[in-house]
Amino acid sequence: MSFNKFIPTPEALAVAREMASALGDTFDEATTSQTAFNLLEIYFNDVASIFPAETASIHFEHLASRDFAAFITPRAGHSLIFIDQQLDCFLFSAFFSNSLLSCHVFEANDQQRVVSLFQRSLMTYSNPYHHEVLRGEQKPYFLEYPKDAVLANSLVLATVGFVLCHEIAHHHLGHFEREQTPALEHEADALGFYLLSLLTRHHEHLPHLRIAPNKLGAPILALTYLAQAVSHAEQKAELLSRAERLRRLLEAQSGSEDAFYLLDGFMAGIPDPA
């Protein structure tokens, strides 16, 4: 793979500066730019710090290939986890507009505009370049509702954490040597969700991937978004099946009431498919 990563643009950094000001936070452009460039790798390093033995033979790469790929594959002497940066953009747009719809009451015209933002966030699955236009349309909402952007980002963290744990699970379950089937995805989901649950116990101590236990429903929401975004009926059904299985795993967790409060609130805010 050739290295090709998203580079924070001056426009994106300007929006980040304005959002930091709206939140009363300090802003360092150089640090923000470097962190954004390496963000997914930073998250992987946080996971590796909690699971050093499980990730000892795993390397990580992230590129902007305008795809939604996330996978693990064998390499000489190690395994490679790859996550496309486009997934991160898709998730943030969807979580942010879903947060607006779940946490605020809008007048009819404004409500329809936010519903449109959500539906067009899902369009980036089939048109990855669309997120660049969408970001400009979301900017006024970022500045008016910066706490929703913070909440959306925390749900992105939880989902990316789950994706990483899911791929680590494939590695340790020996799925490389077997034909890929939905059953293997369900196995990796189960172990990955368990690992994610363990990560939440360290959320106050990790430098970047801070996933509080009440965010454990985020992967369920992400799978629901993807199910709305895809057009293939069989793929849609499989994504919803995975979401339902994760919900049952969450139900089995002790002390999951806060996670369900957030999950069900967001589920209620998801507009019906257009």
Structural domains counted in the chain: 1
**DSSP character at residue 232:** -
Q: How confident is the model at residue 274 (pLDDT cuts 50, 70, 90)?
A: low
| 205-227 pLDDT per residue, tens | 999 999 999 999 999 999 999 99
Cα separation, 189 vs 197, whole angstroms: 12
- In the sheet that holds 78-84, the strands lie side by side as 58-63, 78-84, 70-75
Token pair, residue 173, equals: 């379950």
Determine, yes or no, domain membership for 2: no
The domain in which residue 76 lies consists of 10-269
- Residue 248 vs residue 179, higher pLDDT: 248
Cα separation, 76 vs 97, whole angstroms: 42
pTM for the predicted model, two decimal places:
0.93
Token pair, residue 170, equals: 């494939």
Checking if the pLDDT of 2 tops 60, the result is: no
Q: Please enumerate in sequence order all residues whose Cβ is within 8 A of that of 81, keeping only pairs 6 or more positions apart, or say none.
A: 44, 58, 59, 60, 61, 71, 72, 164, 167, 168
SS3 67: coil
Determine, yes or no, domain membership for 110: yes
Contact 73, 82 (CB under 8 A): yes
Indicate the angle between helix axes 146-172 and 10-23, nearest 10 degrees. Answer: 110
Contact 94, 225 (CB under 8 A): yes
Checking if the pLDDT of 164 tops 80, the result is: yes
- Predicted local distance difference test score (pLDDT) of residue 132: 73
Task: Give the burial string for 172-204 (b: 16+ CB within 10 Å, else e).
Answer: beebeeeeeeeebbeebbbbbbebbbebbeebe
Determine, yes or no, domain membership for 236: yes
Contact 229, 240 (CB under 8 A): no
Q: How confident is the model at residue 1 (pLDDT cuts 50, 70, 90)?
A: very low
Determine, yes or no, domain membership for 4: no
Determine, yes or no, domain membership for 181: yes
Determine, yes or no, domain membership for 48: yes
Contact 95, 156 (CB under 8 A): yes
Determine, yes or no, domain membership for 179: yes
Contact 83, 160 (CB under 8 A): yes
Determine, yes or no, domain membership for 5: no
74, β-bridge pairs: 79
| 46-95 pLDDT per residue, tens | 999 999 999 999 999 988 777 788 999 998 889 999 998 888 889 999 99
Place of tokens 């946080």: 46
